[in-house]
């Protein structure tokens, strides 16, 4: 990893000066042939990549209305130009959402529009040269598909859709990203992102049960592959071992235990993540999503609940019905699928679990809205439930809760900087720089409100923050899982 | 000249109508395979209609983004709307009461439109971020609209033209009965630029006008958990495995 300067945190957020090319050198490792072929893509850059790429663009333009409309509708108003955390952290103009889209759009104009064919210079039409392809590879891997830009665009143009399309085109000509494609291969083969096989998983879960027993004296179960359980819990595999994720998993288990609901994990669907979304591959998304359906049917569960994960909840909430539905074999009285926070929130409201804030004594919490939960999904039955429900659960568990600046939360939340398939060491520089806006907002509440911890509900956010926030001078254990707070506050045993 | 402009307007109208029809058909036929509304999103179709109405009528998202840009954009678009309404009197006989009533305001519309356009042009040239994403066509488009506005205002304020004859010309065009157009250079410039605008419409970023209604992030209902959404090609893919 090359050395780079960590951005300064300003007291008042500043829009950077343009620094052309500042992050052109940032590209992730290219996928090896084995990673590519496992997903049905050519192993390496094909000979006639230009023509193949253009053909794939045409294919996608015909399949995705979003892409087709977004290619035409942009008026270059600039409303999105200062909204992307990667632009704010690097100053590289190609990280402005519209400029990122233009990498794709200029090729679209060249090959798919009359104006671009007749007057390329006039309308900014360009061919897909090797340099352009390099730019695609760099800058479409500097987009975390967080959709912040789409909130501010008068036509809702969503750069995430363009990034996904561009990655799909690149995969089809043999230029894939190692991190994502290797992981998707593992899910296909073993069932989770880590390549953690069933015996190892069973072992881990057993260990967790022992830990909880030692700590609390209660027999909280961590069941695996239990046929006939009521609930199938699908959670990101980071929850099995990473900090602070695992403390969240312990929290889910305690909630189920206390609610008296039988539940199980599945070794087949031991992963909530669906990285196929990041590479825009519908086919791979379906394949990954189907595992969950199969596991639910085999285990004869009545409900499916998802653990704390951002993009996984997007796929679950918004896409699962499409990719692997219909879910009519599940109990119709519950949302299909449901989020663990919806479950816990409901229990708190009904008094089904009791919480004692002193379990989290001395903590002042703030909450990082994960981009995919905030802008691409919902919780509860009202729009915006994805903002209120986590906050209400946190507030019920801790002595004090404070929000960060309104321009940095809710629908305007900043990405952690590591989403969209960027959570890899070979992209550390862009991850650190992209975290700058969030770090800035966090610093303000730490200094002014005495915030001690920031809760998150996404495996990627948690991993990203524990790694990059120390670069900005924060403690790494300042990041907590929401269910970690629940875990510390929940009263186990008979409370009546 | 009269014949030339008659032909020009028939051609421009044809390009505009068929061009737009082609694009709108393309947008309609292209499926949106996944539910991608920018959340929080409305839970019902009525809610979506309101969301789109706020987007089109109030520029809601732009307002969230940048207040100055919002003011410029509203000045231009609202001004343009008034001006277009005012111009309806050239195409209908008898003139509707609403159109008659807004006649005095058309002039303010013209001023607002020009003010907004000039502000947008300056912003495009001055703000480095916006200059970076600007192609020559973006500037030409603004100049074209400014040209239309200035020539129109000139006829209103300084070099008056025979509006009765202009109206006769357009009413005639609509009945395929060509009437003479006043021989007036400013009018020729004005009408020529308008025809050009009509012609470039379906090939340019002016497609944002129909596009906003087809944008899945804005026009989809948030009901993914309740209703299964399956595009035809996705259904085929599903059946194929
Ligand atoms: S806000 Fe939308 S229309 Fe404006 S420049 Fe950005 S993408 Fe284009
Ligand atoms: S989706 Fe997020 S990361 Fe991508 S361009 Fe938009 S704001 Fe930037």
pLDDT in tens, B80-90: 999 999 999 99
Q: Would the CB atoms of A78 and B133 count as touching at under 8 Å? A: yes
* Residue A18 to residue B128, Cβ atoms within 8 A: yes
For residue A102, give the chain B residue with the closest CA: B133
CA distance A218 to A492: 7
Which residue, chain included where needed, has tokens 């707070």?
A485
**A 380-399 near B (Cβ less than 8 A):** 383-384, 386-387
Of B41, B130, B208, the CB nearest to A81: B130
Paired with A303 in beta bridges are A231
CB burial readout A299-332, b (16+ within 10 A) else e: bebbbbbbbbbbbbbbbbbbbbbbbbbebeebee
| DSSP at A224 | B
- What average pLDDT does the segment A72-78 reach? 98
At residue A191 the predicted structure's pLDDT band, cuts being 50, 70 and 90, is confident
pLDDT at B241 over 90: no
Neighbours of A63 (CB within 10 A): 21
- CB < 8 Å to B137, chain A: 115, 119, 122-124
pLDDT, tens only, A322-366: 999 899 999 999 999 999 999 999 999 999 999 999 999 999 999
CB contact under 8 A, B218 and A82: no
CA distances from A184 to A36, A60, A305 (A): 10, 21, 22
Average pLDDT over residues A60-83: 98
Measuring from atom 2 of ligand 1, which residue has the nearest CA? A153
- Please say if the pLDDT value at position A379 is more than 80: yes
Token pair for residue A325? Answer: 């539905």
B91-114 mean pLDDT: 92
Which residue has its alpha carbon closest to ligand 2 atom 4?
A143
Residue B88 dihedral angles phi and psi, to the nearest 5° = -55, -25
Q: How far is the CA of A90 from the centre of ligand 1 (A)?
A: 20
> What pLDDT, in 10s, does the model give residues A219-250?
999 999 999 999 999 999 999 999 999 999 99
Please give the DSSP secondary-structure letter assigned to residue A177. Answer: B
Q: Does A188 touch chain B (CB under 8 A)?
A: no
- B40 and A384 within 8 Å at the Cβ level: the answer is yes
Q: Identify whether the C-beta of residue A149 lies closer than 8 Å to the C-beta of residue B65.
A: no
DSSP tag of B151 = H
CATH architecture of B2-30+40-222: Up-down Bundle (1.20)
CA of A79 to the centre of ligand 1 (A): 6
Q: Do A115 and B203 touch (CB under 8 A)?
A: yes
Give the residue with greater pLDDT, A194 vs A473.
A473
- Is the Cβ pair A157, B217 closer than 8 Å? yes
pLDDT at res. B230: 95
Query: What is the rounded average pLDDT of the residues B107-134?
Result: 97
Interface test with B, best of A40, A72, A81, A97 (most B CBs within 10 A): A72
The pairing of strands A364-368 and A338-339 is unpaired
Query: Which chain A residues touch B55 with a CB distance below 8 Å?
Result: 154, 156
Q: Each residue of A97-145: pLDDT tens digit?
A: 999 999 999 999 999 999 999 999 999 999 999 999 999 999 999 999 9
Cα–Cα dist B177/A420, whole Å: 61
Nearest CA in chain B to A335: B225
Ligand nearest to the CA of B133: 1
B window 199-218, beta carbon within 8 A of A: 200, 203-205, 207-208, 211-212, 214-218
A97 CB under 6 A from ligand 2? yes
> In B, residues 33-92, which contact A (CB 8 Å cutoff)?
33-36, 38-43, 55, 59, 61-62, 64-66, 69, 73
Structure tokens at A118: 């007749």
Atom of ligand 2 nearest to the CA of A97: 5
Query: What does pLDDT average to over chain A?
Result: 96
Q: Is the pLDDT of residue A489 over 90?
A: yes
Whole-prediction pTM: 0.96
Cβ-nearest to A78 among B40, B127, B234 = B127
Q: B240 is written with which tokens?
A: 């194929």
Going by C-alpha positions, the residue among A417, A426, A419, A420 that lies closest to residue A468 is: A417
Neighbouring CB atoms inside 10 A of A251's CB total: 26
Question: Ligand 1 within 6 A of A14 CB?
Answer: no
Contact A63 B36 (CB under 8 A): no
Residue A466 scores a pLDDT above 50: yes
Tell me the angle at which helices A97-112 and A159-172 cross, rounded to the nearest 10 degrees.
60
Contact state of A69 with B214 under an 8 Å Cβ cutoff: yes
Model confidence band, residue A495 (pLDDT cutoffs 50, 70, 90): low
Beta bridge partners of A264: A232
**Rounded percentage of chain B residues whose pLDDT exceeds 90:** 94
Question: What pLDDT was estimated at residue A1?
Answer: 46
Q: How far apart are CA B122 and CA B72, in angstroms?
A: 11
What local confidence, expressed as pLDDT, does residue A2 receive?
Answer: 53
**Per-residue pLDDT for B69 more than 90?**
yes
Are A36 and A67 in contact by the 8 Å Cβ rule? The answer is no
Nearest CA among B206, B31, B40, B103 for reference residue A72: B206
Q: Which residues contact A291 (CB under 8 A, 6 or more apart)?
A: A187, A191, A268, A269
A58, A69, A277: best mutation site toward chain B, by most B Cβ within 10 Å?
A69
Question: Does A434 sit in the ligand 2 pocket, CB within 6 Å?
Answer: no
DSSP state, residue B125: H
Both tokens of A266, joined, read: 């599945």
Decide if A456 contacts A220 (C-beta within 8 A).
Answer: no
Q: Does the C-beta of A153 come closer than 6 Å to ligand 1? A: yes
The confidence score (pLDDT) of residue A496 equals 57
CA distances from A11 to A144, A441, B177, B211 (A): 25, 9, 69, 39
In sequence order, the 6+-apart residues with CB closer than 8 A to the CB of B5 are B169, B181, B188, B191, B192, B195
Mean pLDDT over A253-273 rounds to 96
Q: Is the CB of A80 under 6 A from ligand 1?
A: yes
Task: Write the residue with the smallest CA distance to atom 6 of ligand 1.
Answer: A80
Task: Give how far A65 is from chain B: nearest CA, Å.
Answer: 5
Portion of chain A with pLDDT greater than 70, in percent: 99
* Residue A129: how many other CB atoms lie within 10 Å: 11
The mean-pLDDT minimum among A95-109, A389-403, B21-35, B91-105 falls in B91-105
For chain B, the average pLDDT equals 96
**CA–CA distance, A410 with A388 (Å, rounded to integer):** 9
CB contact under 8 A, B130 and A151: no
Show Cβ contacts of residue A382 under 8 Å, excluding neighbours closer than 6 positions: A388
Q: Which residue in B36, B59, B216 is closest to A154 by CB distance? A: B59
């Amino acid at each position: 990893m090359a050395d780079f300067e960590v951005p300064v945190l300003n007291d008042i957020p500043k829009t950077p000066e343009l620094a052309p090319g500042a992050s052109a050198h940032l590209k992730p490792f290219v996928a090896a042939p084995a990673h590519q072929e496992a997903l049905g893509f050519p192993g390496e850059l094909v000979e006639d990549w230009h023509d193949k790429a253009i053909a794939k663009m045409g294919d996608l333009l015909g399949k995705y209305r979003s892409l087709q409309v977004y290619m035409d509708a942009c008026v270059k108003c600039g409303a999105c130009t200062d909204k992307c955390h990667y632009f704010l952290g690097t100053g590289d103009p190609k990280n402005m959402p519209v400029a990122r889209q233009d990498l794709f759009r200029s090729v679209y104009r060249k090959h798919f529009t009359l104006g671009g064919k007749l007057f390329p210079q006039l309308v900014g039409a360009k061919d897909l040269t090797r340099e352009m392809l390099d730019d695609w590879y760099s800058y479409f891997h500097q987009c975390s598909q967080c959709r912040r830009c789409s909130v501010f665009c008068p036509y809702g143009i969503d750069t995430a859709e363009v990034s996904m399309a561009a990655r799909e085109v690149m995969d089809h000509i043999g230029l894939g990203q190692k991190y994502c494609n290797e992981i998707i291969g593992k899910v296909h083969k073993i069932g989770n992102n880590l390549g953690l096989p069933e015996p190892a998983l069973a072992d881990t879960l057993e260990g967790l049960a022992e830990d909880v027993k030692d700590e609390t004296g209660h027999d909280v179960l961590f069941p695996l592959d239990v046929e006939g359980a009521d609930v199938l819990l699908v959670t990101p595999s980071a929850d099995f071992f990473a900090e602070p994720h695992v403390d969240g998993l312990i929290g889910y288990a305690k909630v189920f235990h206390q609610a008296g609901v039988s539940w199980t994990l599945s070794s087949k669907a031991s992963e909530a993540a669906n990285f196929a979304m990041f590479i825009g591959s519908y086919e791979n998304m379906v394949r990954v999503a189907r595992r969950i359906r199969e596991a639910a049917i085999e285990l004869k569960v009545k409900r499916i609940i998802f653990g704390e994960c951002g993009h996984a909840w997007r796929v679950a909430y918004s896409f699962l019905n499409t990719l692997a539905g219909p879910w009519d074999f599940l109990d119709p009285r519950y949302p299909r699928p449901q989020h663990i926070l919806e479950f816990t929130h409901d229990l708190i409201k009904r008094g089904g679990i009791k919480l004692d804030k002193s379990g989290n004594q001395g903590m002042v919490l703030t909450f990082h809205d994960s981009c995919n939960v905030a802008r691409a999904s919902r919780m509860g039955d009202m729009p915006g439930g994805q903002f209120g429900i986590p906050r209400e659960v946190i507030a019920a568990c801790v002595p004090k809760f404070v929000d960060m600046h309104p321009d940095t939360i809710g629908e305007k939340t900043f990405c952690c900087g590591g989403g969209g398939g960027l959570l890899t060491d070979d992209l550390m520089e862009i991850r650190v720089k992209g975290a700058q806006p969030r770090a800035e907002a966090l610093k303000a509440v730490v200094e002014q409100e005495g915030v001690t911890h920031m809760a998150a509900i996404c495996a990627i956010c948690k991993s990203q923050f524990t790694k990059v926030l120390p670069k900005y001078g924060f403690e790494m254990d300042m990041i907590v899982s929401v269910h970690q707070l629940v875990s510390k506050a929940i009263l186990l045993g008979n409370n009546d | 000249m009269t014949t030339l402009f008659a032909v020009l307007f028939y051609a421009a109208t044809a390009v505009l109508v068929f061009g737009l029809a082609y694009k709108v058909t393309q947008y309609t036929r292209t499926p949106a395979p996944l539910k991608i509304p920018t959340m929080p999103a409305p839970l019902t179709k009525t809610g979506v209609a309101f969301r789109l109405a706020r987007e089109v009528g109030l520029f809601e998202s732009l307002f969230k983004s940048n207040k100055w840009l919002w003011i410029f954009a509203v000045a231009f678009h609202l001004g343009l709307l008034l001006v277009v309404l005012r111009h309806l009197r050239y195409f209908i006989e008898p003139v509707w009461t609403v159109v008659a009533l807004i006649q005095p305001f058309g002039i303010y519309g013209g001023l607002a439109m020009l003010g907004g356009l000039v502000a947008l042009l300056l912003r495009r040239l001055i703000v480095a971020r916006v200059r970076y994403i600007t192609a020559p066509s973006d500037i030409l488009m603004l100049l074209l609209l400014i040209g239309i506005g200035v020539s129109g205002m000139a006829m209103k304020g300084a070099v008056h033209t025979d509006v009765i004859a202009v109206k006769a010309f357009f009413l005639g065009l609509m009945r395929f009965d060509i009437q003479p157009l006043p021989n007036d250079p400013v009018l020729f410039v004005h009408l020529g630029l308008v025809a050009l605008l009509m012609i470039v419409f379906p090939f340019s970023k002016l497609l944002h006008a129909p596009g906003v209604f087809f944008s899945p992030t804005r026009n989809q209902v948030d009901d993914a958990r309740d209703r299964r959404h399956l595009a035809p090609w996705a259904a085929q893919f599903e059946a194929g495995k």
